[in-house]
Structure 1
């Protein structure tokens, strides 16, 4: 199995302006990824990266063949990497906070956010997901989740029937709860004996909420590999397959976990 090079974007977002956000990300990705010594394998964008965390789904939702999905396909092909992040999608009359997993060949999978943020009324606009997604890429099994899912360890649990090596969260996590963000992200890495990546935004949204960033990549011990702080940028790191396998061979806590069935009901 090979190492995995991961690039994630921490940025301000234009409030409810998909074209402006795509243009900003065009520049960020093309400039940052052109100079890499090792091409990236995975590009991770924040939650609702095309709009910010908006409840105005009727005005902003796109179909699965809309411009933002096309944009993701184009970047996946250009950089020969999976591109992932969530956007507002309308399908069969329902709205979803949908994480898309877009491969270089244009094929895709998706995960609809399971835990909707009731404090913001997200449940009144969006339909929750029922099924978790675990994707294999370059020999790594990756479980992508969305923002508020971070608070629910059962849904994030690394299970023998559906194991993963990298757990990632895309988010619009406000600065007022930044301690919870950092603490929970580290806990998810440690308890699941997996690398963990949290990708948040910075700046303010159209409702006045502040976002401090604090995007980070951690190893399976809970050690920080990359900390973005409050800086805008594209951050890249190569995860070592050998280091993960060696640690898991010595520290076999996953073998002692409780057996249970995870259902999205």
Structure 2
């Protein structure tokens, strides 16, 4: 499976420029004929202006229209990062997933909201896992701060996912945490992790990039960097079978001592 990740500098609070940028980047990525294209978190507004609710998508309409059109046009699956989005008047951090035919196959409202930035004061939290099949492969999706909660990621792993997609808006100052947590989630759950972070600035923060594809051994298929680019890497799902047969942590769990 070929996976393209879009690491780009979003324009803080400018929805029009961000929609134009993301469409351009998806077209660029599609030129390499990947199986999947993955976007960063909150690509419509960046993370996040004070007027985020006023400029957010409404019921996902504009975002869904764009992702549906481009996935069908280029015969590619799109993991739609996430967007600021109102649902029944409530603000959510929402991800949409589209298949090659332009059909929405999954959506996810971010569960763990980043209280140090006040995200929990603006946004409503989701409450459900995101598990879906894409080209016959079982996948999961979480967003940014979710990665700090290993029990939440393990719940997805226990659904037998093989790839976890993780869009983010992670600050450069904590890049070491980002790199370490993503590798840990891949190793402990014996799955691929595809983590996509943005670049660019807000009024008081700088995003760190370091998007990557990590295999179940914790090795980088695509290495993290801070360059604005579309990157592509290929994964071999047989690696999962090999590691789970040699070090079967799921078999050896002590479910009599702890549960999820």
Q: TM-score range by the shorter chain?
A: over 0.9
- 2:100 aligned partner: 104
The answer to whether 1:147 aligns with 2:144 is yes
Q: Does 1:128 align with 2:125?
A: yes
The alpha-carbon distance between structure 1 residues 188 and 161, as it changes in their structure 2 partners (threshold 3 A), is closer
The 1-side partners of 2:126 and 2:210 are apart by 26
**Displacement, 1:261?**
5.5
CA distances 1:212-255 after superposition (whole Å, capped 9, x unpaired): 21111110000011014001111111111223222222221122
Deviations 1:155-203 (A, max 9, x none): 0005675111011211000011111101101100000000111110112
Match of 1:42 among 30, 36, 39: 36
1:257 equivalent in alignment to 2:259 = no
Deviations 1:105-150 (A, max 9, x none): 3332211000000001111111111111111112321111000001
Secondary structure (helix, strand or coil) at the match of 1:202 reads coil
Q: Does the alignment pair 1:185 with 2:179?
A: no
Single out whichever of 154-163 and 127-136 deviates more from structure 2: 154-163
- The correspondence for 1:213, drawn from 209, 214, 222, is 209
Alpha-carbon offset, residue 61 of structure 1? 1.7
**Quick check: 1:158–1:192 contact (8 Å CA) kept in 2?**
no
Q: Could you tell me whether the CA contact under 8 Å between 1:40 and 1:79 is conserved in 2?
A: no
Q: 1:61 to 1:32 in 2, by over 3 A?
A: closer
| SS at 1:203 equivalent | coil
2:23 counterpart (23, 26, 35): 26
TM-score normalised per structure 1? 0.90
The 1:11/1:180 distance shift into structure 2, 3 A limit, reads: same
CA-to-partner distance for each residue in 1:35-67, whole Å, 9 max, x for gaps? x2xx31211100001110115332122123522
- Determine if the alignment matches structure 1 residue 174 to structure 2 residue 204: no
Uncovered stretches (5+) of structure 2, i.e. residues with no partner = none
Residues 228 and 235 of structure 1 are in contact (CA less than 8 Å); yes or no, is this contact kept in structure 2? no
Structure 1 portions without partners, runs of 5+ = none
Q: Distance in 2 between matches of 1:160 and 1:99?
A: 19
Q: Secondary structure at the match of 1:255?
A: helix
User: Does the Cα contact within 8 Å between 2:221 and 2:234 map onto a contact in 1?
Assistant: no
* Distance in structure 2 (CA, Å) of the matches to 1:26 and 1:16: 17
What is the aligned-residue RMSD (CA, Å)? 1.7
From the superposition, tell whether residues 158 and 66 of structure 1 become closer, same or farther in structure 2 (CA, over 3 Å).
Answer: closer
How far apart are the structure 1 equivalents of 2:155 and 2:163?
A: 10
Task: Give secondary structure in 2 for the equivalent of 1:135.
Answer: strand
Relative to the length of structure 2, the TM-score reads 0.92
